[in-house]
Structure 1
């Protein structure tokens, strides 16, 4: 687990930045509308997803849901990046609210 998550805790945050970049590209591919919205609001750094990626949803779900998700994420081969798809799914689920309420970066931080 720490071998996989260790780069997330690099002092220079290089591990996190590379994951934010990958998430940005995946959102661009899978949800062009949301990507354009985030781009217009200068939110493409995806720092509002920091906690999700840092500890891979450990604080986002109840215990039973987390155990199911952990099973899927950690059984996955070392580099399958299932957690990115979970991020995209959550963002897509809330896309309408994000856009309708014209959420800024600060609002996204509070909402997410």
Structure 2
């Protein structure tokens, strides 16, 4: 009887581990997708910049939401979640600036001539 209970417990844990692994692999997929969506912005000028920045901000938004929802299951540290949140915020600010016709980031104060 004890062996049977041990076998049932082990199979339940294995099933749970597989579910957690699938959840965390989705997190990794979303992270890779967000990084890939950001790459074209690092290559300089491109046609249809606004749409590219929209795609990147949506990718980071999906990653951020998923990471928040699965923080415990995927053992995501508060620091990592904060970094994801910052990347999402940066992507949204960049999107807003580019789509409004402004530079991605404002110029530093010493570059602006009065």
Q: Which category of TM-score, normalised to the shorter sequence, fits these structures? A: under 0.3
TM-score (norm 1): 0.27
* Higher Cα Rg, which structure: 2
TM-score (norm 2): 0.27
Greater RCO (Cα-Cα under 8 Å, separation 6 or more) = 1
